[in-house]
Amino acid sequence: MPSLLTNIPWIVKILGTLTLILVLNRMLRNLIVSVLIGTLALAFLSGHPLETIFNIAWTRFSSADNIFLLVVIFQVICLSEQMSKTGTMKDLVQTVQGRLTKRGAFAALPAIIGFLPMPGGALFSAPLVADCDPSDSVSPLLKTKINYWFRHIWEYWWPLYPGILLAMDITGLKVWEFMLFGIPLSCFSCLAGYLFLLKKIKNDPPVSLHGQETPNPGRQSFFRLVLPIIVVIVVYLFIQIAFPRISGFNRYLPMFLGLIGAMLTLQIQRPLPRRIWKNFFLQKKTFVLIALVAMIRIYGAFIEARLPDGALLAGKIHAELDAFGIPVVVMIMVIPFISALASGLAIGFVGASFPVIISLLGENPEFTTLLSTTALAYSFGYIGMLLSPVHICLIVTNEYFHTRLFQSLRRLLAPVSLVLIGGIMLYLLLQAL
């Protein structure tokens, strides 16, 4: 039996555990249990002894990075609740609705939140999307897809995201060089979102607070309403530039401090009594969601951990593809895609696959070769991340709108295909230069 498991290709093992999570979640309707079983299956298939399995899980759970991530998720939920209870969220939605059509409001609100490199940020934008449809004329599944999709349209190039920063560090590309293909990929993403998602929404004209078709002149300024979000971005940027050691100590610490600043700003703008704050900290659904994120992070630890022979999973996949005689260009697409499916994080697939991808180019590759390869690898990796059943944003959006994970993934195949076509076109164009 052990020898039989050893002969199973690593690609099959990884995809098998992801499929197991999806199937179990559909059967049990309990994602925490499904991810737990999938994690144990991956650990068993990787050949880790029981003691090592426990050590890997505990090391990830108790790490400072993971603790801060869970705290940041908790802060995101609290800030979302704070904006809801103070009426800020309602005013923000109505202000956007007064300036944009219904379609435009559905896309703009998660896109605004998308400028925040916030783990689980789709949970923050989900209530905004829900408030855009007070009559419930749009299906929860379509709201799920729109919130999830437009929350991520900037992460192809926006330099606040850790995955972008790591990719630039590994490839040696500058910000403006990364934007040469990142911004076009964002454009393809917007086009795909419009064609396959937004067009399904009736394009009602802008409405005011009282349902009139002209904006209400008494409405609060947009700037004041998004000030807490601006505070997060400003604090994050300030710490990254002025105190880079803080980010070096913990990559979630700048976001943690930015969210504290946002909550204090909103409390000064619209104070809430202590009783309501207490309710924020005692909601059962909050702790269930945090437990789910923790479980997904532990699954990711087994993707990133060294195998009993000291090798990494990305290296094993590379070796398998090479042994099968797979062309280099296919490896550039497949390795990041599989890494992203398994990790559900941009920083995860970049860290696991990009060193392997860059090594395939040899020493001192030409600029156009490096740029085109990065464009192809990042686009396939990013789409793999969007389709990952362990992507935190997808999971929290499904939890919020009470939709099924498998349904959401299946309905995203059309828009992601258009983005992949865009990535391939950019690769061919840059290769031709």
**Residue at 328 is within a domain:** yes
pLDDT digits (tens, 9 = 90+) for 134-148: 888 899 999 999 999
Rounded average pLDDT over 360-386: 91
pLDDT of residue 106: 93
Same domain, residue pair 318 and 278: no
- Identify which of 153, 88, 70 has the alpha carbon closest to the alpha carbon of residue 127: 88
Same domain, residue pair 426 and 314: yes
Q: Taking a C-beta distance cutoff of 8 angstroms, is the pair 182, 156 a contact?
A: yes
Same domain, residue pair 29 and 1: yes
Q: Please identify, among 282, 305, 328, the residue that sits at the C-terminal boundary of a domain.
A: 305
pLDDT of residue 160: 74
**Residue at 114 is within a domain:** yes
Same domain, residue pair 192 and 289: no
pLDDT of residue 257: 92
5 pLDDT band, cuts 50/70/90, is low
Decide which of 420 and 305 is more confident.
420
**Residue at 90 is within a domain:** yes
Same domain, residue pair 327 and 404: yes
| Per-range mean pLDDT, top range of 140-154, 167-181, 311-325 | 140-154
Q: Is residue 154 predicted with pLDDT exceeding 70?
A: yes
Decide which of 53 and 216 is more confident.
53
Same domain, residue pair 227 and 284: yes
Q: Please identify, among 305, 327, 348, the residue that sits at the C-terminal boundary of a domain.
A: 305
pLDDT digits (tens, 9 = 90+) for 184-196: 999 999 999 999 9
Same domain, residue pair 292 and 194: no
Q: Is residue 212 predicted with pLDDT exceeding 90?
A: no
**Residue at 224 is within a domain:** yes
Q: Is residue 386 predicted with pLDDT exceeding 90?
A: yes
Q: Is residue 215 predicted with pLDDT exceeding 60?
A: no
**Residue at 206 is within a domain:** no
Q: Taking a C-beta distance cutoff of 8 angstroms, is the pair 38, 20 a contact?
A: yes
**Residue at 154 is within a domain:** no
* Domain around 67: 63-138+219-305
14 pLDDT band, cuts 50/70/90, is confident
**Residue at 350 is within a domain:** yes
Same domain, residue pair 337 and 238: no
Same domain, residue pair 346 and 422: yes
pLDDT of residue 217: 39
pLDDT of residue 326: 84
Q: Please identify, among 265, 288, 305, the residue that sits at the C-terminal boundary of a domain.
A: 305
For CA atoms 200, 132, 223, 215, the dihedral sign is positive
- Identify which of 42, 128, 36, 44 has the alpha carbon closest to the alpha carbon of residue 89: 128
Same domain, residue pair 326 and 191: yes
Same domain, residue pair 323 and 339: yes
**Residue at 53 is within a domain:** no
- Identify which of 162, 160, 164 has the alpha carbon closest to the alpha carbon of residue 182: 164
pLDDT of residue 243: 85
% of the chain with per-residue pLDDT over 90 = 32
210 pLDDT band, cuts 50/70/90, is very low
Same domain, residue pair 169 and 128: no
> What is the biggest distance separating any 2 CA atoms in the chain, rounded to whole angstroms?
73
Q: Taking a C-beta distance cutoff of 8 angstroms, is the pair 228, 133 a contact?
A: no
Q: Give me the number of domains the chain comprises.
A: 3
Decide which of 139 and 7 is more confident.
139
